[in-house]
Amino acid sequence: MRIDLRTAASATLLFTVLLLSLPLSAWSAGPVYENHSLMLVKKLTDSELLDFKRQGFDIVHVYENGDIEIVAPPNDRKKLIEAYDAEILIENMEEYYRNRLDPTKDMGGYHTFAEAVVVLEDFAANYPALARLDTIGYSYEGRPILSLKVSDNVEIDEDEPEAMINGMIHAREPIGMEINLYVINYLLTRYGIYPNITGLVDSTEMWFVPIINPDGYVYNEMTNPGGGGMWRKNMTPNGDGTYGTDLNRNWGYAWGYDDINSSPITSTLIYRGSGPFSEPETQIMRDFILSRDFAVIINYHSYSGYYCGPWGYIGGIPNPDLPISHEIMTAMAAFNGYAVYSIPGAGVNGGARDWQYGEQALKKKNFSVLPEVGTSFWPPPNEIPGLCTQHLNSTFTAFRKAQFYWDRPTRSLGVDSQYFYLVADSCSADSSLTFTFTNLDNVKSYTLELTLEDSLGLPNGISMIDAITVLAPHQSTAMTVTMSPSELGANSSVNYNYSNLKAVISEVADPSVVDTLTFALILVVPVADADGDGYTDGCDNCTNTSNSDQLDSDGDNIGDVCDNCDQVVNVDQADVDEDGYGDLCDNCPDVYNPGQEDANGNDIGDVCDWICGDIDNNGTINILDVVYLVNYKFKSGSEPEFMDAADVNHDTSVNILDIVYLVNYKFKNGPDPSCL
């Protein structure tokens, strides 16, 4: 499918006009550039690490010993030092990188945006039978986002496997752009010379998007023309004086799932945007991917020297096509020795790789790979050829994997849920999740067999009804999995179950073409029992006091041994005076009286039980009360035990008027005392 095709000549004119005009307007306002530091935080405890990842810091590397590298602007630098005793590894990363680059060249030896555009134009102009340059959209500041297609019969949308590589979703990672340009150049210049390259071009449609984030990169050119700029985000104003969204936190799959390495704070380097696909650059990439049928997508980043696939938003959960993901990445790593993380820990949500694989309603899945290239954001110019060479054959390998997997049954099976993970106490009710399977193919029918793989062979709390069905094009079927925490909890030998929903999909026309997917089903029942009474904390009606009988007289789900009012339902356990007796049971709820003394047996605690006008608290109102009050007010006598009993005229103060009121009451048939 062709998207806004430009001829080389018209594209040159368009790009020249854009490049000459945009910086004057786009740079007239924007963020104040601040230099960045590379910081090191020593290993944190698990709880500290979880909190750390929610702070919006830009974590770039985690060592095997648990130490963490962070890229920090000035505000983060101050916070890291004060809160985490962080060490500064590189005070000024821009200066550090600039000193390693070539001072005689723009951007220190890396292609500028304008130079990269010219290179792409030249590819299309010099190899018109093999290369076609398209503008797939425009950035926030109006710069073209370019794609280059390489294939024989390049002007025809052939029924061939498709694959795509891209780079520079982050503006400070230009090595991804360089790898894109290097691979394109190799394909075009070796076509017709090397049989393996000729065969690849003849049988595959390969697409390249070298610069997803042109605005951010041009901003780095402006602020650091010698290279080494550390601006990461795009350039969209956030409306509060801050600029930019991290485009690799802005994709629609699991966007905003949590705040771990993905921030809602606009000023952070990892701000995820106001909503999924809120940015023009991610919208453009989404629409471009939806317009094609890529079997494999490689998203080049830097740095750290590893490959990873989905999932990024949640750790420890394999994607259902794990063997395929692992095979692709392992084959790529054979050419550069990179580590392979097939089941990565929780990294980011809203990332490109998760949407590319996980969005299975609007398109067939893309097997997505994220390579972290090299050991720095701006490798020295003499390292660029070596890094490009390292990733040349690995990229070709991924393209060949795309040839094999492009038309496999697994790509046609869209599934709305990718796993079922439940943590619940043994007293919890059953919980169910329905997986909906859809045949996304337009032509082929598939046989789908769904079974439960029981990993433990025990009564383990996970159940479903096995099924076999035939799915015609765009037809769906559903499978419900039920988890029973009480059943698992009853099995004292184990407190978790890790099983799989196994999906075997094969072509109806050729049953030998078959793929297997496994969807993780994980049930965990906590076993903590703080008081050792045999009831786990989540089910115990009194977690801190042993009560094996679980007696609950008032039925408020609070055990009698813990209930501060065990004869009356009081779920909130309110106790205003904090004397251990709930307000509904306390004989004097506003005054601390842990003994609950009640001498006269009237159910009013002694500390609250007084008679209005009985100043001396002897149980009767007489002349002695008048004398007591006169002595208190005018002869420094003792203060009444209950001052409220002395305010007989109810004016909130004890004075001579109360004496007069009391005399009138006792000796002149005046009104009864009326205290508060």
Look at residue 464 and tell me if it is in a domain: yes
Look at residue 533 and tell me if it is in a domain: no
pLDDT of residue 534: 67
Helices 8-26 and 113-126 cross at an angle (nearest 10°) of: 170
Same domain? For 617 and 509 the reply is: no
Same domain? For 71 and 106 the reply is: no
Same domain? For 104 and 16 the reply is: yes
CA distance 536 to 607: 41
Q: Which two tokens stand for residue 387?
A: 């890094």
* CATH code of 662's domain: 1.10.1330.10
Q: Which two tokens stand for residue 278?
A: 């809120």
pLDDT band at 489 (very low <50, low <70, confident <90, very high): low
Same domain? For 225 and 300 the reply is: yes
Look at residue 233 and tell me if it is in a domain: yes
pTM of the predicted model as reported, rounded to 2 decimal places: 0.83
Same domain? For 272 and 199 the reply is: yes
Cβ 264 vs Cβ 50: under 8 Å: no
Same domain? For 654 and 624 the reply is: yes
Same domain? For 378 and 488 the reply is: no
Same domain? For 63 and 130 the reply is: no
Most confident of 197-206, 457-466, 548-557: 197-206
The residue segments making up the domain with residue 385 are: 8-28+100-407
Block residue for tokens 């980011």: 348
CA distance 364 to 291: 11
Look at residue 548 and tell me if it is in a domain: no
Look at residue 251 and tell me if it is in a domain: yes
Q: Which residues of 27-60 are buried (b: 16+ CB within 10 A; e: fewer)?
A: eeebbebebbbbbbbeebeeeebeebbebbbbbb
Task: Report phi then psi at 534, rounded to 5.
Answer: 90, -5
Same domain? For 360 and 421 the reply is: no
CA distance 21 to 27: 10
Same domain? For 400 and 517 the reply is: no
Look at residue 537 and tell me if it is in a domain: no
pLDDT of 643 strictly over 50: yes
Same domain? For 399 and 457 the reply is: no
The domain boundary residue, chosen from 524, 551, 582? 524
Alpha helix (H) residue ranges in 43-92: 46-53, 74-84
Mean pLDDT of the chain: 89
pLDDT of residue 252: 97
Please give the share of the chain, as a percent, with pLDDT higher than 90: 65
pLDDT of residue 29: 62
Same domain? For 194 and 320 the reply is: yes
CA distance 409 to 88: 51
The domain boundary residue, chosen from 465, 490, 524? 524
Please give the share of the chain, as a percent, with pLDDT higher than 70: 93
For residues 282-311, give the mean pLDDT: 97
pLDDT of residue 238: 97
How many domains does one find in the chain?
Answer: 4
pLDDT band at 458 (very low <50, low <70, confident <90, very high): low
* CATH code of 500's domain: 2.60.40.10
The domain boundary residue, chosen from 407, 422, 444? 407
Look at residue 496 and tell me if it is in a domain: yes
User: pLDDT, tens digit, for every residue of 1-58?
Assistant: 333 433 444 444 344 434 433 443 344 467 889 999 999 999 999 889 989 999 999 9
pLDDT of 501 strictly over 60: yes
Look at residue 594 and tell me if it is in a domain: no
pLDDT of 514 strictly over 90: yes
Task: Give the residue among 236, 107, 217 at the shortest CA–CA distance from 168.
Answer: 217
DSSP secondary structure code for residue 32 in this structure: P
3-state secondary structure 97-140: HHCCCCCCCCCECECCHHHHHHHHHHHHHHCCCCEEEEEEEECC
